[in-house]
């Protein structure tokens, strides 16, 4: 199956104006310097979206946000709506990241509601799932990830508007990664859930990214796996050289 690789950077809560703009410019220059076959996405914090959008001008790098509310507008102090993200030029929004599931007690049901809202405003979603260390050690990885995929995706999602990211919680920011076999096992299980939910044709087209301590040195191994269609990168996306080296090493 010919799925376009995605290299996505999740900047998380990092970057003041000057450094955010200069990182975006550096990434833009490096991406433009060579012909590349993958799709790049950068997801800065809300505060930098407009400035980063400007810095990405003239490149094909897509802009993404890291969360949104499910409502178009209204009395939701401190929240940002999908309509606002569209208005700023976002193409993607990350939803259901484990840091939001943990820090903000987001349930898969709530995430599903956000996914639906994001799609209705023309955003594409990167929907994250992943098990904790405790869940992995007790043999629940496949069950946990399958359940999160089933419950976080509303009816009618398509490969054209949805990307899944498998991010084991214990691999995020720790330097630890699952073995390639473990990654492939979870990705294949997720593809199976998608097949049941959406039918084989959509499931085969939908991209499933791996995230969790991806760096230039492990990019080739992780991104050459059968069901791995790219990476969602945290720490290494904050250095333009590393972010681009991941794509170079993955051969995209």
Asked if 212 is part of the footprint of ligand 13P (rule: CB under 6 A), the reply reads: yes
Asked if 104 is part of the footprint of ligand 13P (rule: CB under 6 A), the reply reads: no
Asked if 211 is part of the footprint of ligand 13P (rule: CB under 6 A), the reply reads: yes
DSSP codes joined into one string, the chain: --PPPEEEEE--S---HHHHHHHHHHHHHHHHTS---SEEEEE--GGGHHHHHHHTTTS-PEEEES---SSSSSS-TT---HHHHHHTT--EEEES-HHHHHHS---HHHHHHHHHHHHHTT-EEEEEE---HHHHHTT-HHHHHHHHHHHHS-TT--TTTEEEEE--GGGTTTS----HHHHHHHHHHHHHHHHHHH-HHHHHHSEEEEESS--HHHHHHHHTSTT--EEEESGGGGSHHHHHHHHHHTT-
Asked if 213 is part of the footprint of ligand 13P (rule: CB under 6 A), the reply reads: yes
Query: Candidates 68-76, 144-152, 178-186, 212-220 — which segment interacts with ligand 13P by CB under 6 A?
Result: 212-220
Question: Contact letters (x/-) for ligand 13P, 107-146, by CB under 6 A?
Answer: ----------------------------------------
Taking CB under 6 A as the criterion, the residue among 117, 129, 172, 189 binding ligand 13P is 172
Asked if 148 is part of the footprint of ligand 13P (rule: CB under 6 A), the reply reads: no
Cβ 109 to ligand 13P shortest distance, Å = 21
Taking CB under 6 A as the criterion, the residue among 17, 72, 138, 173 binding ligand 13P is 173
Q: Which residues are catalytic?
A: 97, 167
Taking CB under 6 A as the criterion, the residue among 7, 55, 214, 240 binding ligand 13P is 214
Give the binding site for ligand 13P (CB under 6 A).
10, 97, 167, 172-173, 211-214, 232-236
């Amino acid at each position: 199956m010919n799925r376009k690789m995605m290299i996505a950077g999740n900047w998380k809560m990092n970057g003041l104006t000057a450094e955010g703009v200069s990182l975006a410019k550096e990434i833009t220059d490096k991406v433009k310097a060579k012909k590349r076959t993958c799709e790049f996405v950068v997801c800065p914090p809300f505060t930098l979206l407009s400035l980063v959008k400007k810095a990405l001008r003239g490149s094909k790098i897509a802009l993404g946000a890291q969360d949104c509310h499910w409502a178009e507008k209204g009395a939701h102090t401190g929240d940002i709506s999908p309509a606002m993200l569209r208005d700023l030029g976002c193409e993607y929004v990350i939803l259901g990241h484990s840091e939001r599931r943990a820090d903000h007690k987001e349930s898969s049901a709530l995430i599903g509601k956000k996914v639906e809202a994001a799609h209705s405003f023309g955003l594409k979603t990167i929907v994250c799932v992943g098990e904790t260390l405790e869940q992995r050690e007790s043999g629940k990885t496949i069950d946990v990830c399958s359940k999160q995929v089933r419950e976080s995706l509303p009816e009618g999602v398509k490969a054209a508007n949805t990307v899944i990211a498998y991010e084991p919680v214990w691999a995020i920011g720790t330097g630890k990664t699952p073995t390639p076999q473990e990654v492939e096992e979870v990705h294949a299980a997720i593809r199976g859930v998608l097949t049941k939910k959406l039918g084989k044709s959509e499931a085969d087209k939908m991209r499933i990214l791996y995230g969790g301590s991806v760096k230039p040195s492990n990019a080739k191994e992780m991104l050459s796996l059968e069901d791995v269609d790219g990476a969602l990168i945290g720490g290494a996306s904050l250095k333009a050289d590393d972010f681009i080296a991941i794509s170079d090493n993955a051969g995209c």
